[in-house]
Amino acid sequence: MVRCRDLGFEEPDQQVALAGIDGRVYRCDFAWRDGQVLGEADGRIKYLDDGERPGADALWAEKRREDALRFGRRAFVRISWEDAWHGDALATKLDRAGVPRIRRTRHPLTF
């Protein structure tokens, strides 16, 4: 994830397959520290009612998935497009989750 590097953070592994507490294997968008810190970046459309899968069902399925992945891990971070675009919120979330910085930036980057 280029934005992580731009903000001075260690780059994550992407699309990592991890076992959940329920025994199922899930693919996670981002993982740091050997899977101890996880990050998910989903757009809003995933949770909207598309006529085929009502938004509430999608939200419930994602909650169950996150519960299975979160157990035994240090942190689970949800990242929005807005977080990544503006940078400040992403940097705050990654700092709080304990993602290592490879360098410090003087000012948050914006586009």
Q: Domain containing 74: what range?
A: 2-97
By the 10 Å C-beta count (0-12 exposed, 13-18 middle, 19+ buried), 82 is classed as: exposed
Write down the pLDDT at residue 51: 65
Mean pLDDT in residue range 7-17: 95
Q: Is residue 107 part of a domain?
A: no
Write down the pLDDT at residue 111: 46
What is the number of structural domains in the chain?
1
Asked if residue 12 lies in contact with residue 77, where contact means CB atoms within 8 angstroms, the answer is no
Q: Is residue 86 part of a domain?
A: yes
Mean pLDDT in residue range 36-52: 75
Q: Is residue 103 part of a domain?
A: no
- Distance in angstroms (rounded) separating the CA atoms of residues 108 and 12: 19
Mean pLDDT in residue range 48-57: 68
Q: Is residue 105 part of a domain?
A: no
Mean pLDDT in residue range 16-42: 94
Q: Is residue 110 part of a domain?
A: no
